[in-house]
Amino acid sequence: MERISWNQYFMAQSQLLALRSTCTRLMVGATIVRDKRIIAGGYNGSVSGSVHCIDDECYVIDGHCVRTVHAEANALLQCAKFGVPTENADVYVTHYPCLQCTKQLIQSGIKNVYYAEDYKNHPYAVQLFKEAGVRTEKVELDYLSFDLNYKEKSQLIKELLEMVDENDSREFTSLKEKATELFKL
């Protein structure tokens, strides 16, 4: 078995962090890494102790949810809170950083930004990264090793299996047994 690459490993960590997000519009995770060691992680969510989007909807102003602290900012703030330097560190983010997070990442000394998905990549953010010498690289997660749509796929298989129950052929029975084992239904 081949080992997962460092980029895939750290991006998978960010995807796991995103699953903790409390914003219903977009789930984002960020992992800050220095010398191949995770130094902080964050996800987009409300200020500690405040109401969350999942509880009381997103608070949208000018097309942005203002209730949440972005994943990148939360990871940087975690470093600040515990006195962990971010100079020359890398960040792995599930989505291309917004303009505000771009400025924060640059100011904190991040040197490389790895992101899994494009998301409204602001031209000025792209320009700022270039001007600051911050390298950006798209790192798509290998979805064969990390499946973010497993719930939807499992539900689809359940529905298909119900349809198969209506057909008594051997071929369908065999496929049903394989699907039941594969998806642990």
Annotated catalytic residue, options 2, 72, 131, 152? 72
Q: What percent of the chain has pLDDT over 90?
A: 62
Task: Name the band, by pLDDT with cuts 50, 70 and 90, for residue 148.
Answer: low
Mean pLDDT of 57-85: 93
Checking if the pLDDT of 68 tops 80, the result is yes
Which of 2, 16, 20 has its CA nearest to residue 141?
16
Contact in structure between 153 and 147 (CB atoms under 8 Å): yes
Contact in structure between 54 and 24 (CB atoms under 8 Å): yes
Q: Is 72 a catalytic residue?
A: yes
In whole angstroms, what is the distance from residue 34 CA to residue 108 CA?
Answer: 13
Is 115 or 142 the better-scoring residue by pLDDT?
Answer: 115
Task: Name the band, by pLDDT with cuts 50, 70 and 90, for residue 37.
Answer: very high
Task: Name the band, by pLDDT with cuts 50, 70 and 90, for residue 157.
Answer: confident
DSSP characters for 23-68?
-SS---EEEEEETTEEEEEEE-EEPTTSPPHHHH---EETTEE-SE
Reading the block at residue 68, the tokens are: 């949440």
pLDDT the model gives residue 172: 72
* CA distances from residue 33 to 77, 93, 115, 146 in whole angstroms, order as listed: 14, 11, 13, 20
Mean pLDDT of 147-169: 73
pLDDT the model gives residue 142: 75
Mean pLDDT of 70-95: 97
pTM for the model stands at 0.79
Checking if the pLDDT of 47 tops 80, the result is yes
In whole angstroms, what is the distance from residue 31 CA to residue 120 CA?
Answer: 20
